[in-house]
Amino acid sequence: DTGVSQDPRHKITKRGQNVTFRCDPISEHNRLYWYRQTLGQGPEFLTYFQNEAQLEKSRLLSDRFSAERPKGSFSTLEIQRTEQGDSAMYLCASSLEWDPRREQFFGPGTRLTVL
């Protein structure tokens, strides 16, 4: 068990460019979550998947954001036409649907800087 991994760890881009982040959950976990954390704030929920189905999306997830989990394993989060306000740490987490502890395991995050 190598934990939740995220790639890249850091991304610097220019305003207007598209970026894509990848998350690999713990292998047996069927739930996968995306959160965004800005400086001085707690993580804010963006969306979550159960297997390949996207079951909930936050209002924070504007039309420029899209997340996928095509085979129920890894997930990608794409941001189109990035804006400076998109600068944040993007956290991925995974969990097991039937875990009585309801624990979400977090990855190290991808820090996005939009210039």
Partner 1 sequence: AQTVTQSQPEMSVQEAETVTLSCTYDTSESDYYLFWYKQPPSRQMILVIRQEAYKQQNATENRFSVNFQKAAKSFSLKISDSQLGDAAMYFCANQGGSEKLVFGKGTKLTVNP
Q: Which pair of tokens denotes residue 68?
A: 């996928």
Distance in angstroms (rounded) separating the CA atoms of residues 90 and 47: 12
Which range, of 18-26, 38-46, 70-78, 79-87, touches partner 1 by CB under 8 A? 38-46
Q: In this chain, which of 1, 27, 28, 40 binds partner 1, going by CB under 8 A?
A: 40
Q: In this chain, which of 43, 69, 75, 86 binds partner 1, going by CB under 8 A?
A: 43
25 binds partner 1 (CB under 8 A): no
β-sheet with 5-7: strand ranges across: 5-7, 19-24, 75-79, 65-68
Residues in 58-87 at the binding interface with partner 1, rule: CB under 8 A: 58
Distance in angstroms (rounded) separating the CA atoms of residues 11 and 45: 20
Distance in angstroms (rounded) separating the CA atoms of residues 68 and 57: 12
What does R_g of the chain's alpha carbons equal in angstroms?
13
55 binds partner 1 (CB under 8 A): yes
Binding site residues, partner 1, CB under 8 A: 3-4, 31, 33, 35, 40-45, 48, 50, 55-56, 58, 91, 95, 101-104, 106-109
